[in-house]
Chain A
Amino acid sequence: MDPSEVEFLAERELVKVIPNFTHDKIYLISGDVGPFSAGLPLPVPLWLAVNLKQRQKCRFVAPDWMDIDVLKEKKQEEADSRFFTPMPSPHYMEITQLLLQWGTDDIPKADEIRTLVKDIWDLRIAKLRSSIDVFVKSGESHAKLNYLTLMEINTVRLFLTKALNHMHQLKSVTSRDTTNSNSQAF
C-alpha cells in the first residue's frame, strides 16, 4: 500500500481545532461535524482540519498525547519493553506529520515533539526489524503483531509478505518432493 493511502486512512481520525468562524452543523456523509463557533474547540476529521488550516480558518489544538512529558514517558516505556507497547493513536505518525506540516506554530514545542515522535518511531521500527529476523528464522507460519500501527506494518509489508511467500513455496515443494519420493519407493 502506498504511504499516502495510509495517510488517507489516518485523515479520518478526529482532531480538535479552534475555528475562527461560526457555522451551523455540517451534515457530512461520514458523520455530522460542528456546530462551529469562533474560539471554541471542537473535534473534526483530520482532512477537514488540514483544509481549514490551509485556508486560515482555524488553529490546531495538539492532541493530549502530543505533549513533551507524555511522549517522553511513552518513549521510555517503549525502550524498556521487549514487546510493542500500545500507542496513544493508531495513526500517531501520520497525525504528527500532518499537524506539524501545516500548523507548526499552533503546536507548542513543535521541534521537540517531532524529535520525540521520530525517536519512538525509530525504536519501534528497530524492534520490528529484529523481531522479523527472529520470526523468519524460526520458520513459524504465523505471528501476532499486536499494537503495531498501520504505517509501521506498511513499511515492512512488501518485503515480509514476499519473503514469506517464497519460503512457503520452497517448503511446500520440498514436502511434495518427499511424498513423491516416498511413493516411488513403494
Chain B
Amino acid sequence: MSTEDVGDDLLETVDDEEEEEAMTAPEVLHKLEEAWLNEKFSPDLLPVKSNLVECMLDQIVAMENNISTLKKGDFRISVHRMEIDRIRYVISSYLRHRLAKIESLTTHVLQEEEKRRDSENVLMSPAELEFAKGYCNSVMTHLTNTALDHMPLKAATPNAKEIAVLPNLDSYVFLKVNENTENVLVEEETVDAREEIMDFEKGDQHIMRYKPIASLVESGGVSLI
C-alpha cells in the first residue's frame, strides 16, 4: 500500500469523526452495532470507537433520567428499559471482545499502539491502554517469579518481540461491502499463482482472508458479518 493511500484513509476517518458529531442517535447506534460485529469477527484489534460508546452511554443516562421522571406503572418504562438493556448488551459485548483480544494479543497491541501514537486514530482507549500495560506487567512478573528466575541467565531475558502472540491475519472472514471499491487485491503474487484483483460492489457478500481487506474494515468500506 502506498503512502498516499494511508493518507487518504486518515483523512476519511477524520471526516468520519466530524460527521459523527451531526449523527442522530439511531445512526450512532447502528455504527456501534457495526463496530461490535467488526470487532467480533476480525482477528486483530480494531481502533477503538470511544466516541460511539460514550455517545450511547450518554443517551442511556439521559434516558434513565427521563424514566425516573415517569409515573410508576407508565407503559413506556418497560419499553425504554428493554431498549436500554439491548444497547447495554451491545456495548458490553463490544468491550468484552476487545478486552479478550487485548489479553490474548497484549504485546502485539502495545506495539501497534506505539506505532500509532502520533496519529489521531488510536487503537485503544486510555483505560484499555492502562489495562493492557497492567496486564502485560502482571504476566511478566508472574512468568519471572514462577519460571524465569529458575532458569539459566540466557533464557531468562525474554524479548518482547519474540514472545509476542501475533493475530492470524490470514484467517478467513465473511464480509459485506458498504461502498463500491475497485481493484481490491485478493491474493498476493506467489511463486505458483498470479495476484488476484477484483472489484467490490455495494451489497456484495464475500468470504476471504482478513489481511487484504483489513484497511477497508477500518475505513468502513466493508463490514464483517
Contact = CB atoms under 8 A, between A and B. Distances in A.
A141 B208 contact: yes
Given A141-B209, A157-B174, A1 B82 contact: no
B151 to A, nearest CB: 30
A33 B80 CA distance: 11
A30 B26 contact: yes
Contacts of A51: 78-79, 82
A127 B192 CA distance: 31
A144 B80 contact: no
Interface residues of A, number: 36
Interface string B101-144: 00000000000000000000000000000000000000000000
A144 B205 contact: yes
A29 B26 contact: yes
Nearest to A148: B205
Nearest to A51: B82
Contacts of A148: 205
Contacts of A168: 170, 172, 209
A67 B207 CA distance: 32
A141 B190 CA distance: 13
A153 interface: yes
B82 A48 contact: yes
A29 B59 contact: yes
Given A29-B25, A160-B172, A165-B170, A142 B83 contact: no
A14 interface: no
B191 A179 contact: yes
A29 B87 contact: yes
Nearest to B74: A23
Contacts of A145: 174, 205-207
B172 A161 contact: yes
Interface of A: 1, 8-9, 11, 21, 23, 26, 28-31, 33, 47-48, 51, 141-148, 150, 153, 157, 160-161, 164-165, 168-169, 172, 175, 178-179
Interface of B: 25-26, 29, 33, 40-41, 56, 59-60, 63, 75-76, 78-80, 82-84, 86-87, 89, 168, 170-174, 186-187, 190-192, 196, 198, 203-209, 225
